[in-house]
Amino acid sequence: MKTIFKTVLAATLLSAAFNTVALAGNIRMSAGAGMKPVLEKLSDNYSKKHPGTSFINNWGASGALAAQIENGAPSDIFISANTKWVYYLRDKNLIENSRIAPFAWNSIVVIGNPALKIRSMKDLARIDKLAMGNPNSAPAGEMAMEAIRKAGIENQLEGKIVMTKDVLESLKYAESGAVDASFVHLTEAMSATKAKILFTVPQSLYTRVPYTMGLTRSASSEAAGFFDYLQSPEAKTTLKRYGYELK
């Protein structure tokens, strides 16, 4: 009986050790949906320099991701399309101040069918359907709603706004023609194939804040290495190539 117990115990310990090694190189990243193309490129570049490192990615609206992390979803690094949600997690004691850094800057634009001849915020009152990410969770939607209010066209757009789960869904709606136009970040607009940039939303109409990243308190050493890499000259060159600003 003792021999069997020792054998089982040894097998269990060996299995646990194997699983620890197998999972050691995993970096669990939660990031705003619109950042998927550039972060896939950055993570691929990092993995090539650090063989054995792999990424488990979770894309979505920044507010929704913050809520998931707050409720126990495993994550090493959180990259939000604004500062608010990173500091929200800091205030919940899930991220430390010393593990927070700016990621990049972006602008919001309106994309859609160029035949509509939409050139300004005031012109939006002439269309039937306008998409934006839900302002409660999608930073691009929050900025868009602020711009609508400051432009004084909230009443003219009543019943015309289609709320989406995130900026990528807003992009998809504009590309498919499901809506006449959508608010998206400039970086997402650059990937559009059918919809075109109709105009850039004046920065005087919304509060422009940086994309911000933070390491969670449970972050691995591998994630800390990637966090440092995202602040390197090489990473910044990639960000610029994808349309992000570094200010």
Give the domain ranges of the chain.
2-105+211-241, 108-205
pLDDT at 141: 95
Q: Kindly report the CA angle at 44 between 90 and 189, in degrees rounded to 5?
A: 75
> 2-105+211-241 domain in CATH 3.40.190.10?
yes
Cα gap 26→28, rounded to integer Å:
6
pLDDT at 13: 32
- Asked if 66 and 216 touch (Cβ cutoff 8 Å), the reply is no
Share of the chain above pLDDT 70, in %: 90
pLDDT in tens, 175-231: 999 999 999 999 999 999 999 999 999 999 999 889 999 999 999 999 999 999 999
Cα gap 163→81, rounded to integer Å:
17
pLDDT at 7 over 80: no
Residue 83 CB neighbours (<10 A): 18
pLDDT at 12: 32
pLDDT in tens, 89-108: 999 999 999 999 999 999 99
Tokens linked to 217: 């308190």
CATH number of 108-205: 3.40.190.10
3-state secondary structure (DSSP) of residue 230: coil
pLDDT at 25: 83
pLDDT at 11 over 70: no
pLDDT at 10: 35
Average pLDDT (24-37) is 91
CA 124 vs CA 118, 173, 213, 222: distances in Å:
7, 16, 33, 46
Judged on CB neighbours under 10 Å (0-12, 13-18, 19+), 194 is exposed
CA 221 vs CA 17, 80, 101, 154, 217: distances in Å:
18, 21, 17, 47, 11
